[in-house]
Structure 1
Amino acid sequence: MYPVLAAVLAIAVYLQALPLSYGKTVSGVLRSGAAKENNGQYITKFLFHGENALVVCKLEETDVSVAVRKEARLLLFQQPDEFDNLSCLQRLSGAPLSITLNAVELNQTIPQMSSPQMWHVLYADRYTCQEDELSGAADDIRIQVIMFNPDNAGNPLDHFSAEEAGLYGFYFLLILAYFVAACICAQPLWQALHKGGPMHTVLKVLSAALLLQAGSALLNYIHMARYARDGVGSPAVGSLAEFCDMVSQIQMLYLLLSLCMGWTLSRTHKSQSKPLQWDTSPASTSLAMGGVATQGALLVWEQFEDTEHHSYHAHGSLPGLLLIGLRIVLALLLASMLYQMIAAERSTLKRDFYLSFAKGCFLWFLCHPALVLLSMVFHQHQREKVVTIGVILCQTASVVILYRLFLSRSLYWEVSSLSSVTLPLTMSRAHRNRY
């Protein structure tokens, strides 16, 4: 119930963070006033790679004469920050590439690069560096800028930048793997949920989190399929994919914290003959909800900070770094609690259960911080793929570990039987006897 309420609350806030534009086919309006105010109107950036990378500019036919009169041009920089201390004229004249806007369609080939390089696109005209009031510069120019990387055949037809290359194929394989797994496991899982039993509620929460993960992967694939065709994709679908992933993260956090807090708190005041009994105490509930609320707030904050809305990508922002810190703190907290429980436990069966549960917990919480640290040894264009693919695979493996644990009659069921009570997040025997 608590994760559902948190999800509903997050929807209203998250929808406010939907981007107005997304992708590398950029359509907009070029204004002399904006260019003068900022020493060049910033348009977009793109990570080009290889040979025959291309920038295509398209103007409305009625705007060509306006662009010629204004001496309008697009400037391409690799490191625009290096020109911040220069004068306006020095900055604009120092651009490595310049595209004069004097035709309906213009093409600019990017020089061949030995490694992927980021290029920034700015707009400037004859009024950009003038100190006097603008006169005759009121007319705006409508433009569409399309950026291409070379595809496998070397033709400039690929809309994906270098840091996104390969993610489209990965999501296709991920969806295929989810489909095959669903065909194999859906019926046994449905039967386990239908029968009820001591693992019933845990499996429901775990299944909901997995479905949200699969839904996020499917929505990302749909978005990227359209992006591959037009360079824009479906911004709303991409944002919905991230929202599904965000709710899945919240649900898993609530599940893991509830289980561990329940066991730990119960051991402080329950007899050793019933070490796994959990009565949903106010302390355990407040601790779990506190962790959920903190992570939910940081995830929403991260979406506002990351204007391009890439899952797992904005770890360089303040909320992203706080999220990594939160996951490390929670992993250390759970490690401390589980170590105390394992050290005090004499039953080999129960120790095996706790150890398997600990593996699933630590893999879920520590994969993101570990992969962010590991990605530092890779080039810039490889980091997003390392973190995104790695986190998805590790968290999927974590869910598989927990599924095997909670579906195993030799572990979860027997541990519950040994303690003569049900495990956390389940109905008590007294309640089950009523039905």
Structure 2
Amino acid sequence: MHPVSVATLTIAIYLHCIPLSYGKTVSQVLRSAAAKENNGQYITKFLFHGENALVVCRLEETDVSMAVQKDARLLLFQQLDAFDNLSCLQRLSRAPVSIALNVVELNQTMPQMSSPVMWHVLYADRYTCQGDDLSGAMGDIRLQVMMFNPDSAGNPLDHFSAEEAGLYGFYFLLILAYFVAACICAQPLWQALHKGGPMHTVLKVLSAALLLQAGSALLNYVHMARYAKDGIGSPVVGSLAEFCDMVSQIQMLYLLLSLCMGWTLSRTHKSQSKPLQWDTSPASTSLAMGGVAAQGALLVWEQFEDTEHHSYHAHSSLPGLLLIGLRIILALLLASVLYQIIATERSTLKKDFYLTFAKGCFLWFLCHPALVLFSVVFSHHQREKIVTIGVILCQTASVIVLYKLFLSRSLYWEVSSLSSVTLPLTMSRAHRNRY
């Protein structure tokens, strides 16, 4: 099958299987049976902040009489778990905010908040806490709920939840930085790729991963630009952004593991006069593929666990914690490998190469776990922004370090030329000798 067809099929399966991210303009069908079963039908949650935060509810004109007959209302709770041990009537009666659904459109201003507060929205009616008799509750109600935070001028027009505030501007600056860097570096990089040489395939894989990162940032910006207007955005575009980011993560993992494992697992097969061995082996390929498969499976699992997913999470779910553990284990493995190489290496040139490569590897693998741990000291609404922005910046810095290393004729070129065999992921030696 053609590679383009395989890629298209993979994306289609991903978009079909992974739940799309939800905006904060929510359309919901309200059912008395669902509300009765769960002591209130859960609708959504939103992190409000400041003054003049607003909830806007809209009903279909044909459903208003049904809503009045049912005594339909929306209930807003700050800490939903605190009401789990109460009876149904006690739970509903203690809702801090209650919105009666008795007109086509109504606005509810939220209480003033000194700091961001998460509010959960539930639906309830007169049948929610009654017995099994639902004979008068057969009709459903169609509802649209819009939630707004105050903007910079204090007007309730901002669709973004408090934990998402600022990400839209960050992605704009990131896209601008990618554009400027492309204008400056695209031609020299293309010339380096066109000339070939020992770094040719490594640079191609690294460039592909960087392009996927830039594509993910662009798609996130497009999604958030639409989200800022309607509170929904483009869930398909948002999921595509996550897909590009996942592929980039997997590609970089395979590149780094293939290079590092290729050096170590096969160096014992070389004579003492030629201690440096860069060639891949079945063992190194298996380790690289195993790491890639494990990370890919955990990334996909994490998407299923989080319905309001983003490219980076606070990792409170089991697959997220396992993903952090995997990255720490890989970093420790690479640290052990590179330490053994550097400790026995006499060439200053080669040591400089390994040390620079180690910095790029550790920055890539450890930035995510370190930022997740660091974000714990901050408020809940700040954690996602710290992890998202920090990981993107750190991994971009890691790519720059690796680019500088692989394009350096004094390091990568000389080290690879000293080996009697090819580097992992590079051209064959016969092809390389022409340069």
TM-score normalised over the length of structure 1: 0.96
Matches within 5 A, 1:151-166: 151-166=151-166
The residue type paired with residue 70 of structure 1 is K
Is residue 345 of structure 2 the alignment partner of residue 345 of structure 1? Answer: yes
Matches within 5 A, 1:293-332: 293-332=293-332
Aligned to 1:202: 202
Structure-1 residue corresponding to 2:216: 216
- Matched residues in 1 for 2:19 and 2:298: separation? 18
- Asked whether the equivalents of residues 216 and 244 of structure 2 are also in contact (C-alpha less than 8 Å), the reply is yes
Distance across 2 between alignment mates of 1:394 and 1:91 = 46
1:267 deviation in Å?
1.3
Residue 60 of structure 1, CA deviation: 0.8
C-alpha contact 1:324 1:368 (8 A) present in aligned 2: yes
Counterpart residue number, 1:103? 103
| 1:346-365 paired onto structure 2 within 5 Å | 346-365=346-365
- Of residues 360-369 and 314-323 in structure 1, the stretch that sits farther from structure 2 once superposed is 314-323
* AA of the residue aligned to 1:169: G
Q: Which residue of 2 aligns with 1:333?
A: 333
Pairing of 1:238-257 with structure 2 (within 5 A) = 238-257=238-257
Paired amino acid for 2:397: A
> How far off its partner does 1:10 sit?
5.8
* Pair 1:6–1:323, CA change in 2 (3 A): farther
SS at match of 1:232: coil
Distance change in 2, residues 1:5/1:103 (3 Å):
closer
What residue is the counterpart of 1:18 in the other structure? 18
Equivalent residue, structure 1, for 2:190 = 190
Q: Secondary structure at the match of 1:114?
A: strand
Instruction: Give the drift of 1:421.
Output: 4.4
Tell me the C-alpha RMSD between the 2 structures: 1.8
Q: What amino acid sits opposite 1:111 in the alignment?
A: P
Q: 1:427 Cα deviation (Å)?
A: 1.9
**Contact preservation (8 Å) 1:146, 1:231:** yes
Between the aligned partners of 2:67 and 2:252, the Cα distance in structure 1 is: 54
Supply the distance in 2 between the matched residues of 1:10 and 1:319 (Cα, whole angstroms).
21
CA contact (8 A) 1:59 1:144 kept: yes
1:143 is paired with a residue whose SS is: strand
1:142 matched to which residue of 2?
Answer: 142
Q: Deviations over 1:311-370 (max 9, x none)?
A: 111511000000000000000000000000000000000000000000000000000000
- The Cα shift of 1:19 comes to 2.6
**Deviation at 1:423?**
2.7
Instruction: Kindly provide the amino acid, as one letter, of the partner of residue 261 in structure 1.
Output: M
Equivalences, count: 433
**Counterpart of 1:181 in structure 2: which amino acid?**
A
One-letter code aligned to 1:316: S
Q: 1:75: which partner in 2?
A: 75
Describe the SS at the equivalent of 1:85: coil
**Secondary structure, aligned partner of 1:163:** helix
Q: Which amino acid aligns with 1:178?
A: Y
Q: Aligned partner of 1:343: which letter?
A: A
Partner of residue 289, structure 1: 289
State the match for 1:267 in structure 2.
Answer: 267
The TM-score, its normalising length taken from structure 2, stands at 0.96
Is residue 20–residue 239 contact of structure 2 (8 Å, CA) maintained in 1? no
- What does 1:388-403 correspond to in 2, within 5 Å? 388-403=388-403
Q: Which runs of 5+ in 1 are unaligned?
A: none
Identity between Structure 1 and Structure 2 (%): 89
Note the C-alpha offset of 1:430: 2.2
Deviation at 1:20, TM superposition (A): 5.0
Q: Is the 8 A contact 1:19 1:235 kept in 2?
A: no
Gaps of 5+ in 2: none
In the alignment, does 2:169 pair up with 1:169?
yes
Deviations 1:260-290 (A, max 9, x none): 0000012111124444433321111111001
Counterparts of 2:22 and 2:61 in 1: how far apart (Å)? 25
Aligned to 1:429: 429
Distance 2:170 2:273 in 1: 49
Per-residue CA deviations over 1:56-87 (Å, capped at 9, x if unaligned) read: 00011111111011100000000111111111
| Counterpart AA for 1:297 | A
Q: Does structure 1 retain, via aligned residues, the 8 Å contact 2:20–2:307?
A: no
2:419 maps to which residue?
A: 419
Counterpart residue number, 2:229? 229
The 2-side partners of 1:295 and 1:276 are apart by 29
Deviations 1:147-197 (A, max 9, x none): 000000000000000000000000000000000000000000001111110
SS in 2 for 1:144: strand
* Stretch moving more, 168-177 or 61-70: 61-70
Residue equivalent to 2:63:
63
